[in-house]
A and B are shown apart, each in its own frame.
Chain A
Amino acid sequence: MLAAGAITLALGMATQQPAHAEDKPYQVQDGKVDRGTYNGYRRYGNACERCHGQDGAGSSFAPNLTESLKRLSHEQFMEVVINGRQNVTSSQQSVMPPFGQVEDVVLYIEDIYAYLKARSDGAIGPGRPQRMAN
């Protein structure tokens, strides 16, 4: 699982990481987002929302990702999503599942990142973003 995750991570970075750190992974024009960011919104809804809440805003047991992404690098984001993270003590049961083997996440992980980054930067508000007409 870990190895596979690492491979996917490496591939993901080779093919998709933005050339310049300052490049935004999303595009927003007149309040409308590119296809990838929109897809990220949907994939987030499928795989992450049940813990991280509507709009990435957190829940009673998983962090607010719009805040996390102000802190985390692209690489750190990928690492935690692919390999997961556990923080389990007698009073805290915090489990971020590993998604390295999950097709619907791995294939669209850059889109999910773009969506969350756009939310985190305040480039899009809560709710369903509007899609650009191609």
Chain B
Amino acid sequence: MFRKIAVSAAALGLCISGASANEELLRLQRDPNQWVMPTGNYANHRYSELNQITRDNVAQLRPSWSFSTGVLRGHEGGPLVLGDMMYIHTPFPNKVFALDLKEPGKIVWRYEPSQDPSVIAVMCCDTVNRGVSYGDGKIILAQADAKVVALDAKTGKVAWSVTNGDPGKGETMTAAPMVFGDKVLVGISGGEFGVRGHVTAYNLKDGSMAWRAYSVGPDNEILFDPQKTTSLGKPVGPNSSLQSWEGDQWKIGGGTTWGWFSYDPELNLVYYGSGNPGTWNPAQRPGDNKWSMTIFARDATTGQAKWVYQMTPHDEWDYDGVNEMILSDINVRGRPVKALVHFDRNGFGYTLNRETGELLVAEKFDPVVNWATKVDMQTGRPEVVKEFSTRQGGEDTNTQNICPAALGTKDQQPAAFSPRTSHFYVPTNHVCMDYEPFRVSYTAGQPYVGATLSMFPPKGAQHMGNFIAWDASEGKILWSKPERFSVWSGALATAGDIVFYGTLEGYLKAVDVRDGKELFSYRTPSGIIGNVNTYTHNGKQYIAVLSGVGGWAGIGMAAGLQGDTEGLGAAGAYRSLANYTQLGGVLTVFALPN
């Protein structure tokens, strides 16, 4: 089955028998003919060297084959391709299909876990899953019921299964695992249920736990060394998390880890972000609420935190910090840097030095962002605007016209980076909100939200999303292409100097990296919240994407924008997404005509 891989390994002169999972994946993630991890490569570039499809011929792209998953709810994530096999996954019940690329769409094996449907009730925003990972001959699935399951990549047989959390307490899983070295890293979801977030590394071989690091709590549980773990270059000191909470509140302190992971094999560091602190009512949790809303760099072997940076101390808007960390070697203001670039829910695009955690750039990637004027580059803290502070507005007060909305200027839908242009291509939301915090009580397994929101497009805007190009060196938008709805699909950049993304109406689009000019669009069967990938089979380049509308976009947009409310302006401009698309998971694979 993996004959092709073995051949290319031999060609590269690698000794496959002695190669650890680490070496195998390090090599595979560089092979543009395959798509071996959800993020494209360890650096989360979502970029491919393939260049058969270019800005000149992309208009001729046609669907080549398609496959129905038979599941209706929101399909996030995307396919993996290893040799002649493609692996796709579904939202709850988290089916996995291994498809034969030699006979497109033929099912080699399928896996369908039996999970208690009551898990569905504790999933925040639809029952999404962001994909499976490959390593050491296994496909790793993070199930909704918080079980991590390793399946034999050839047969689909369960190799091992471990329990990573308790759905009875609202702990579920939606994020894609990441395999690095001989381990697999997983997060935990449940930010709306007071879940205390953690990341856990399991040994690929047997599923035994290697290390676990919480986002909030005592130093020995968050794996901090008060002297060696730094924030903006300074040691964090003892009890850095505990001191930022009142009493025991850290125990329901959130900081869940439902986004993407990246890995720098040379620095041996893994990177990810943590989500919102406890309830959405800030008055109920005074303090900075560390280390929620934080970028973490951890030693991949031990889990010890090397550096941290909290983007939104004492969150008042639900601006989770979980979006992907893109590791790019770029010039920042004229100086070459091993950079980490991150587009946060809070509307700031951050560039940091990924070795040291030094903050280099923090600029708005949507001009309507208004909750903070800027980020103080010395302290790293946002300068919050009183008018849009839900804490200063207080409990039971409706703070109005905050931009962005809770779903952020960008949510988990990952951006792409092209090393050819050194620029980033970012799917974004263009949505604002009113936010009224109120007191809630904590009950294990019950929502712990404590705020009422309404979301709407910015005043005077005719659209709710943009697809943008970003210069992370200066923190500047290069071009911005408006979309009717939020762009909730992960992007793909290629050496053909084009970028692909999907829209909530269901269009797969390709645009020119130079100016965002639309070169191709095709309407798939349902809205796209999945991530686009590319691979070759028998020497021919294909583009693949899952459609199947849903997710938070399905809640926030499907119905909420029908009808015209006062104050939204542009009466009639926003019609329900339901008028454009219906549910249903379908994989569509595209190719140029022969």
A contact set with B: CB distance below 8 Å: 41-42, 44-47, 49-51, 53-55, 57-61, 64, 84, 86, 88, 90-93, 95-97, 101-104, 125-128
0 or 1 for each of B99-141: is its CB under 8 Å from A? (1 = yes): 0000000000000000001101110111100000000000000
Q: A86 — which chain B residues lie within 8 A by C-beta? A: 117
Which single member of A42, A95, A102, A127 contacts B117 (CB below 8 Å)? A95
| B373 interfacial by beta-carbon distance below 8 Å | no
Question: Closest B-chain residue to A98, C-beta based?
Answer: B121
What distance in Å separates the Cβ of A80 from its nearest Cβ neighbour in chain B? Answer: 13
| B1 interfacial by beta-carbon distance below 8 Å | no
A58, B446: Cα distance in complex, Å: 21
**Cβ-defined contact, B117 with A54, below 8 A:** no
A97, B127: Cα distance in complex, Å: 14
Q: A42 — which chain B residues lie within 8 A by C-beta? A: 436, 438, 452
A68, B443: Cα distance in complex, Å: 28
A64, B73: Cα distance in complex, Å: 16
**Cβ-defined contact, A60 with B398, below 8 A:** no
Q: A44 — which chain B residues lie within 8 A by C-beta? A: 452
Question: Closest B-chain residue to A64, C-beta based?
Answer: B559
Q: Is the interface of B mostly helix, strand, loop or mixed?
A: loop
| B554 interfacial by beta-carbon distance below 8 Å | yes
Q: A101 — which chain B residues lie within 8 A by C-beta? A: 443
A97, B452: Cα distance in complex, Å: 20
**Cβ-defined contact, A92 with B455, below 8 A:** no
A42, B451: Cα distance in complex, Å: 8
Once A53-B560, A59-B558 are accepted as A-B contacts, the answer to whether A93 and B73 lie under 8 Å apart by CB is yes
B contact set with A: CB distance below 8 Å: 70-74, 91-93, 117-118, 120-122, 124-127, 192, 398, 434, 436, 438, 440-441, 443, 446-447, 449-455, 549-550, 554-556, 558-560, 562-563, 565-566, 583
Once A50-B447, A104-B440 are accepted as A-B contacts, the answer to whether A61 and B452 lie under 8 Å apart by CB is no
**Cβ-defined contact, B451 with A61, below 8 A:** no
**Cβ-defined contact, B452 with A55, below 8 A:** no
**Cβ-defined contact, B71 with A91, below 8 A:** yes
A90, B72: Cα distance in complex, Å: 10
Q: B126 — which chain A residues lie within 8 A by C-beta? A: 59-61
What distance in Å separates the Cβ of A8 from its nearest Cβ neighbour in chain B? Answer: 15
Closest 5 A-B residue pairs measured CB to CB?
A: A45-B452, A60-B554, A54-B560, A97-B121, A57-B559
Which single member of B125, B550, B560 contacts A57 (CB below 8 Å)? B560
Q: List 19 A-B contacts (CB under 8 A).
A: A46-B438, A46-B449, A53-B555, A53-B556, A54-B453, A58-B559, A59-B555, A60-B73, A60-B583, A61-B72, A61-B127, A84-B121, A91-B71, A93-B91, A93-B93, A93-B117, A102-B443, A127-B454, A128-B454
A49, B398: Cα distance in complex, Å: 17
**Cβ-defined contact, A95 with B560, below 8 A:** no
A104, B126: Cα distance in complex, Å: 22
**Cβ-defined contact, A93 with B436, below 8 A:** no
Q: A46 — which chain B residues lie within 8 A by C-beta? A: 438, 440, 447, 449-452
What distance in Å separates the Cβ of B453 from its nearest Cβ neighbour in chain A? Answer: 7
Once A46-B447, A86-B117, A102-B443 are accepted as A-B contacts, the answer to whether A51 and B555 lie under 8 Å apart by CB is yes
Once A91-B71, A93-B73 are accepted as A-B contacts, the answer to whether A60 and B549 lie under 8 Å apart by CB is yes
Q: Which of A49, A50, A61 has the most CB of B within 10 A?
A: A61
What distance in Å separates the Cβ of B91 from its nearest Cβ neighbour in chain A? Answer: 8
**Cβ-defined contact, B560 with A93, below 8 A:** no
Which single member of B92, B124, B453, B566 contacts A93 (CB below 8 Å)? B92
Question: Closest A-chain residue to B553, C-beta based?
Answer: A60
Q: B436 — which chain A residues lie within 8 A by C-beta? A: 42, 45, 128
